[in-house]
Amino acid sequence: MRTKDAGIEDTFRELTKRALSEEDRDKFIDNLMEREPVLEDLKKNNISFKVEEAKEDLLRETKIAERLEDEYRKLMREMEEFSRSKKAMKKYSPQFPFPSMPVFFDKKA
């Protein structure tokens, strides 16, 4: 049983290392998602870890959390920039290239 458990641990660690080494955001997330079923197996089998292994795993998980926070900030900045450009595009149209001017006088007068 220990060899099967060791295989699960090794698979989880390998997927974690692969995710951390990935530069592309989408591939990083995909690698993290691949860990999900392996993590469920780890929980189901209630596998114990050596202290040194646990420290290394915790360090890697901390790096993943930091990377996810960075990716979140980047995504929020990109969404904000997109929102600004979308607003600018709505204000401009080829038919009316200038924004409408406010009326300063009453038409009835």
Q: pLDDT by residue (tens digit) across 9-33?
A: 899 999 999 999 999 999 999 999 9
Measured CA distances, 87 to 82, 84, 103 (Å): 9, 5, 23
pTM (predicted TM-score): 0.66
User: Is residue 63 a contact partner of residue 23, using CB atoms and an 8 Å limit?
Assistant: no
7 or 2: which carries more pLDDT confidence? 7
pLDDT confidence tier of residue 100, bands split at 50, 70 and 90: low
What 8-state DSSP symbol labels residue 85?
Answer: H
